Amino acid sequence: MAVEGMVAPGFEPVRDVFADIVGDARGGAAFAVVRDGEPVVDLWGGLADPLTGTPWRRDTLCVLFSGTKGIVATVAAALADRLDPTAPVRTYWPEFTADVTVGHVLSHTAGLPYVDGPHDLLDSAGCARLLATQKPLWEPGTRVAYHPLTYGYLAGELLRRVTGSSVGTLVQELVAPYGLDLHLGTPADCDPRMARLVRAPDYAISTFLTDPERRRIVERMYAGLLDSDSLMNSVAYRRAELAGGSGVGTARAMASLYDLVLRGCVVDDSALRRATGVWADGVDAINDRPVRFGLGYELGDSIGTYGPDRRGDRAFGHSGAGGGRHGAWPGAERGGVGGVGFSFLCNELRSEDRDSRAERLLTVLDEVLDR
């Protein structure tokens, strides 16, 4: 399949790897890298809709899934003077009953990985009300386990409580001054540009996990979201302001956002240092996967999620279900100079244990940056 876009001189090997990835795809993808405000890689190719044969275009939008969490983490960091991670959640949300801090929520240590009881996963307010009186599975802060959807319900409600605005509104206020094509609560005029999501025939989640009892917990955590192509492609899903996973955007916009973060344009230095420090580190108590979290951001881990160790050790961002990888490699200089924001976005969902696409791109990116 044809690859379109640009690479700066010296980045041609990135294009070669991307072309190989697109050539092996049922769907399409985009990969972007921004350094010091300038794009050095901006590539796209393949099919935005494998059913109709519609090609992936420069302005194709795609669901970010948990890449959304990185945007929301940036919103939270930008509000650091109003949202104290050491404060109990009930400081901002009086109806909340568990002894959970804001930091526990943002670092996936709250012990509330699923909503207990009948609920509509698209109803963030309703899910937040249920979580406010739910008993944690463990003492908050003592274990880390990824909260795929409840992170969004909890973080979104906290942000609403401290600002009076919905999380989708806060995202737009964050990105609008920079013209970034990112949306949470996607407006109808974006619908014609949406890529159709397709799952690989062998797609599975939580591929590190073998325990059947904890597999049942995982099923409750995702509430059927990834069990078929229908809900994830629905208008209702895109319209919902799910801070855990219904954002949409382009790879260019995501890479640009992380570049802006590195350069201190949207989050001040002290808040970023706090948000990208290690708040939780270990093996996921439910999924058996090594994880490391800051305040809402994933951090470089022991399995190389964010590239080679020399980059991944300082990296932050957030991946998305099915293969998306979005984040930043800070530079050696102050003010983010020399660092890069990057984003790999795809509409063909592959299992983590069978997907090397983002890893290959980050490996070759590391190589060319060193030349």
Say which DSSP state 215 is in: H
Using DSSP bridges, classify how beta strands 198-199 and 348-349 pair: parallel, antiparallel or unpaired: parallel
**319 in active site:** no
324: which residues sit within 8 A by CB, 6+ positions away? 64, 65, 66, 67, 343, 344, 345, 346, 358
Ranges of beta strands (E only) in the chain are: 3-7, 28-35, 38-49, 54-55, 62-63, 182-183, 198-199, 248-249, 280-283, 290-293, 298-299, 316-320, 324-329, 340-346, 348-349
Q: Sign of torsion, CA 130 132 138 140?
A: positive
Residue whose tokens read 């929301």:
72
Catalytic site residue from 66, 107, 166, 256: 66
Q: How far is 297 from 274, CA to CA, in rounded Å?
A: 11
Query: What's the Rg (C-alpha) of the chain?
Result: 19
Angle at the Cα of 293 (from 76 to 243), degrees rounded to 5?
A: 40
The full length of the chain comes to 371
Q: How far is 226 from 214, CA to CA, in rounded Å?
A: 17
Phi first, then psi, for residue 282 (nearest 5°) are 155, -165
Catalytic residue numbers read 66
